[in-house]
Amino acid sequence: MEEKSLRPPIVSVLGHVDHGKTTLLDAIRKSDVASHEAGGITQSIGASQIETKQGKITFIDTPGHAIFSGMRERGVKLADIALLVVASDDGVMPQTEEALSYLKNSKTPFIVVFTKTDLPSSNIEKAKTQLEEREVFFEGRGGDTPFVVTSVKKGILSGIDELVEMIYLFSEVNEIKGESAGELNGVVVETNKDNRGILVSIVVKSGVLRVGQEIIAGGVRSKVRGLFDSTNKSIKEILPGQPGVILGFTELPEVGGVVLESSSKVQKESVSFSDKNQEVGEGEIAFVLKARTAGSLEAIKASLPKVAIVLHSSVGDVTESDIFFAKSVSARILVFESKVSGSVKKLADTEGVKIETFRIVYELLTYVTDLIESGQEVIKGKAEVLNVFPFNNKKVAGCRIVMGEIKRGEELILMRGEGEVGKVKVISMRKQKNDIEKALPGEECGIIFVPNLDFEVGDVLVSVVKK
């Protein structure tokens, strides 16, 4: 058997939201990821490898927002060492304490990295005292926890070289090793989809993953059709301590699952993101949830209020089947970082299914909370304005019913594109020369409503009820 050799250390970066984790990594790898994060917040685990003077380091950047606790815990379990990032102006915050709990429970060694030390409100001593109150004792103050003071503002990097040296010193002292000739062992970091298909991000801890290999990852078997490094460059193999992306899966493996050779004695686990048979009770609201990554699905579902019932959730773009399912259960579709094509959006409009898209997770949660507090609106009917003509000093809307039904006497919302023109009440409906009480899909009729808003051809009248 080949003797194990030193491999790149796997370093998890933890800390409270907006404490500068991604910006710190930008400074180390001299990239610009932070400015491209929606709302400036990392919303999925990002694994990347950098080359330093001392050698390679694999970093795992975990989200700081409260709802992503599952991702942070996985990041800790995977890491050889962690960086606990603490903003010197804020000090210890809720996710700082949560990260400390994970680190202590897993016995993962860590370095405290103080950031934002260039700010006038910076108070490193106060932050240290807060950590010591939580049993984090620093070198030089009676303890053995190392720390680094950094600043990365205005292009001036301070403390970065010292931090990299400290990581490598730890790696050498603790002899972090991986065996290339041994059995494959890795961890699924994240999953998502693009035009190539399902993409599975992993970090290999030992063994080598190669193109063409049969593997089982997170309970799902697959043949590796392609491999990519953290810069999206095609590669032939992933070595110990290296992150990468696998192409070839036909179903999503479980995030956090182990990656092994398929010959290994591993029992396949079934992973389901659906609960389509769940009933929606009084005061509850049904949703279909779509997200770009499995980790985001997990985090959002765990953070939704109890009365928000997710009947189906899946990774990828919104599909026609999502629309038809949502319609069948009177659910809204919440979309986080996934795409909605024009044809799918048109189908949703026709079927009366509401789609709400988000790029920032707390905006999604705020929307759901506001919806619950105000009561859910369900579309009962839609009519498209085909003609506008005068009648007895009033304007008549010549309409075709495109879904549900429209009734005389009910209140409607007049929509123009995505915007609301106003609310109206139907006072008259006529089909040819006959007064009618209601109109059904495919039927055409003339509608008079008050107030006599300035409507035009192409506008849509929408009937909604609160559930």
Structural domains in the chain?
5-178 (3.40.50.300), 185-261 (2.40.30.10), 285-374 (3.40.50.10050), 377-466 (2.40.30.10)
- What spatial distance separates the first Cα and last Cα of the chain, rounded to whole Å? 66
Rounded mean pLDDT, 317-330: 83
Tokens (6 digits) for 381: 């009917």
Segment 348-366 mean pLDDT: 89
Kindly compute the dihedral angle of the four CA atoms of residues 22, 27, 32, 36, in this order, to the nearest 10 degrees: 20
CA distance 53 to 456: 67
Specify the pLDDT at position 5: 61
The yes-or-no verdict on residue 31 having pLDDT over 50 is no
Percent of all residues in the chain with a pLDDT value above 70, rounded to a whole number: 84
Structure tokens at 455: 């409507």
Band of residue 1 on the pLDDT scale cut at 50, 70, 90: very low
Phi-psi region at 110: left, alpha or beta (left = phi > 0; alpha = psi -120 to 50)? beta
Average of per-residue pLDDT across 376-385 = 82
Strand partners, 355: 333
pLDDT at position 426 is 92
Query: Contact 244/202 with Cβ under 8 angstroms?
Result: yes
Residue 175 has pLDDT above 90, yes or no: no
For residue range 59-109, list pLDDT tens digits in order.
Answer: 887 654 444 455 556 656 678 888 999 999 999 998 889 888 888 887 888
Distance CA(205)–CA(7), nearest Å, equals: 9
pLDDT band (50, 70, 90) for residue 384: very high
Residues 6+ apart with CB under 8 A from 153: 116, 118
Give tens-digit pLDDT for 202-224: 889 888 999 989 998 877 888 99
How high is the pLDDT of residue 70?
Answer: 58
What is residue 399's predicted lDDT score, i.e. its pLDDT?
Answer: 93
User: How confident is the model over 176-194, as a mean pLDDT?
Assistant: 77
What is the pLDDT, as a whole number, of residue 328? 75
Q: Rounded mean pLDDT of 250-264?
A: 77
pLDDT at position 32 over 70: no
Total-model pTM: 0.56
pLDDT over threshold 90, residue 395: no
